[in-house]
Amino acid sequence: MYNTLSGRVEEFRPLVGNRVYMFVCGPTVYDHSHIGHARTYISFDVIAKYLAYRGYSVFYLMNVTDIDDKMIQRANEVGIPVEDLADMYFKSFLEDMRALGVDSVNLYAKATEHVPEILEQIEALMEKGIAYESGGSVYFEVKKFPSFGKLSRQRLDKLEAGARVDVREEKRNPEDFALWKAYKPGEPSWDSPWGPGRPGWHVEDTAITMRYFGSQYDIHGGGRDLIFPHHDSEIAIAESITGKEPFVRYWLHTGFLNVEGEKMSKSLGNVITIKELLKRFRPEVVRFFFLHSHYRSPVDFTLTLLEEAEAAYERLENTVSNLRRSVKEASGGVGETGGTGGGGEMERESGPGLGEKALETRRRFVEAMDEDFNTREALAALFDLAREANRALAEGGCTPEEVKEALSVFEDYGGILGLFGTPADTSAAAAEAVIRILLEEREAARRKKDWETADRIRERLAEAGITVEDGKDGPRWRFSGV
């Protein structure tokens, strides 16, 4: 996997046996989640699932930022307590994740439920003389951690210049960051040795990960926007406390998502929430759209691109439906509508055949995913298999076992990517039942020599993208697309 820390693709070796401790920066729950969140969390969902598929035992932990400046500001605007705001939008986030099939997180950890751990870390830094108290707040003194900026590869002098915007009287140096923020009227607060206040942002994540993973762990993920200063600050806090290096072995960052070339922002009015997106597109289409580019690539979101992704995904899905039906028919589930199954091997044309293609696809898929989770290449392998499967189903030339093997490739890898699931199958199953009823009516018409009705049913089905062919075992049908 590509490690931001080294700037290279590295072989992955977990710290302990085949266990993987993976942490990803979770949302700040002050509003409904947007499609940038979907991009990042779908990526890490697939990464977690692929690691599990490769035999690792994955513990996927995610924090939830339920106290910070944005939370307080929004709660004041809406006129509700910060706690209620957090509850409302955390629920909304979980709904969105469930809808998108992001279900690999083992534990969500809220910042406000880890204040004792946060205070413990701040105290440790105070004892070491790396943090200092000023005006009831506590700051991390960046100069005391000379390798600060090793993740973003920014030098301290540059940081100082960049941080001048945040000059506060009480800070010793402009680049120092808050570990604890002194209480201000109207803000939620917790007791601390330095008076009431609330946690700073960076220490929230180090406190949570040290609580569950210990002083060092395997994978830390998040969007690219978080490399600096957030992740550099996490490294500074954790390595200052434990003296152990590296705090995290592999840092993974997703490419940022923009909308039509612009950063999403409330002021531009171009924020697209996951809920809005799912009104128009199915969750699997959204997943497919994101997985079609590498997780590290930036994404430029446009409606046209998503519509193109929808059409491409439906082609793939059609093939999977046809394979499923063929397998069902071969096992005698559907009977009279015929299909490729049941009759053993049909005359094969030259070429490698569907079975071999399925095996080759397995190899290609794993190779692509082993190379820094290249879902784009992995999907390309599935498209090639789909092409071969379409050919084999239309022309014959494959055994029921080969059809089964091709289907199992789509189903196994669909499980990792979150595609080709069964939820859409309820409508697909209903559609198939209706097709069977129509074909029965057509057969009844043919028996009565009512050719006009029989032809009309066949034409209407063709208009709906369903091709009917009459064979000696009765009619066979397949989706050919509209």
**Of 423, 408, 296, whose CA–CA distance to 359 is shortest?**
408
In the bound complex, which residue of the shown chain has the CB atom lying closest to ligand AMP? 223
Q: Which residues of 393-403 are buried (b: 16+ CB within 10 A; e: fewer)?
A: beeebbbbebb
* 21-29, 136-144, 241-249, 449-457 -> range binding ligand AMP (CB under 6 A): 21-29
* 25-33, 267-275, 328-336, 408-416 -> range binding ligand AMP (CB under 6 A): 25-33
Give, as ranges, the residues between 434 and 463 that touch ligand AMP (CB under 6 A). none
Binding mask 40-59 for ligand AMP (x = CB under 6 A): x-------------------
**Mapping DSSP to helix (H, G, I), strand (E, B) and coil, where does residue 477 land?**
strand
Q: Does 28 bind ligand AMP (CB under 6 A)?
A: yes
CB nearer ligand AMP, residue 222 or residue 339: 222
Based on the number of CB atoms within 10 Å of its own CB, is 126 exposed (0-12), middle (13-18) or buried (19 or more)? middle
Residue 299 contacts residue 293 (beta carbons within 8 Å): yes
Q: Does 226 bind ligand AMP (CB under 6 A)?
A: yes
Q: Does 27 bind ligand AMP (CB under 6 A)?
A: yes
**Mapping DSSP to helix (H, G, I), strand (E, B) and coil, where does residue 270 land?**
coil
Say how far apart CA 32 and CA 340 lie, in whole Å. Answer: 48
CB nearer ligand AMP, residue 61 or residue 130: 61
Smallest distance from the beta carbon of 294 to ligand AMP, in angstroms?
Answer: 13
Smallest distance from the beta carbon of 303 to ligand AMP, in angstroms?
Answer: 17
Under rule CB under 6 A, how many of the chain's residues touch ligand AMP?
15
Q: Which of 10, 170, 225, 372 binds ligand AMP (CB under 6 A)?
A: 225
* 23-31, 124-132, 169-177, 353-361 -> range binding ligand AMP (CB under 6 A): 23-31
Q: Does 230 bind ligand AMP (CB under 6 A)?
A: no
Transcribe 128-187 into DSSP letters: TTSEEEETTEEEE-GGGSTTTTTTTT--HHHHHHHGGGG--TT-SSTT-EEEEEE--TTS
Q: Does 264 bind ligand AMP (CB under 6 A)?
A: yes
Smallest distance from the beta carbon of 225 to ligand AMP, in angstroms?
Answer: 5
* 24-32, 155-163, 186-194, 432-440 -> range binding ligand AMP (CB under 6 A): 24-32
Q: Which of 5, 23, 32, 36 binds ligand AMP (CB under 6 A)?
A: 36
Residue 462 has a CB neighbour count (10 Å cut-off) of: 13
Residue 258 contacts residue 229 (beta carbons within 8 Å): no
Q: Does 3 bind ligand AMP (CB under 6 A)?
A: no
**Mapping DSSP to helix (H, G, I), strand (E, B) and coil, where does residue 396 land?**
coil
Say how far apart CA 441 and CA 456 lie, in whole Å. Answer: 11
C-alpha dihedral (144, 236, 109, 415), degrees to nearest 10: 180
Smallest distance from the beta carbon of 344 to ligand AMP, in angstroms?
Answer: 51
* 15-23, 35-43, 137-145, 436-444 -> range binding ligand AMP (CB under 6 A): 35-43
Q: Does 222 bind ligand AMP (CB under 6 A)?
A: yes
* 20-28, 81-89, 319-327, 381-389 -> range binding ligand AMP (CB under 6 A): 20-28
Q: Which residues of 247-279 are buried (b: 16+ CB within 10 A; e: fewer)?
A: bbbbbbbbbbbbbeeeebeeeeeebbbbeebbe
Question: In the structure encoding, which two tokens stand for residue 438, read together?
Answer: 């129509």
Smallest distance from the beta carbon of 40 to ligand AMP, in angstroms?
Answer: 4
CB nearer ligand AMP, residue 86 or residue 226: 226
What is the pairing mode between strands 57-64 and 2-3?
Answer: unpaired
Smallest distance from the beta carbon of 414 to ligand AMP, in angstroms?
Answer: 24
**Of 176, 184, 192, whose CA–CA distance to 131 is shortest?**
176
* 254-262, 305-313, 442-450, 462-470 -> range binding ligand AMP (CB under 6 A): 254-262
Partner residues linked to 252 by β-bridges: 221
Q: Which of 108, 190, 228, 256 binds ligand AMP (CB under 6 A)?
A: 256
Interhelix angle 400-417/303-330, nearest 10 degrees: 140
Residue 407 contacts residue 422 (beta carbons within 8 Å): no
Say how far apart CA 375 and CA 417 lie, in whole Å. Answer: 8
Per the document, the length of the chain is 482
Q: Which of 39, 114, 198, 202 binds ligand AMP (CB under 6 A)?
A: 39
Smallest distance from the beta carbon of 338 to ligand AMP, in angstroms?
Answer: 48
Smallest distance from the beta carbon of 254 to ligand AMP, in angstroms?
Answer: 6
Smallest distance from the beta carbon of 340 to ligand AMP, in angstroms?
Answer: 43
Q: Does 293 bind ligand AMP (CB under 6 A)?
A: no
* 31-39, 352-360, 372-380, 430-438 -> range binding ligand AMP (CB under 6 A): 31-39
Question: In the structure encoding, which two tokens stand for residue 185, read together?
Answer: 């009227």
Residues in touch with ligand AMP (CB under 6 A): 25, 27-28, 36-37, 39-40, 222-223, 225-226, 254, 256-257, 264
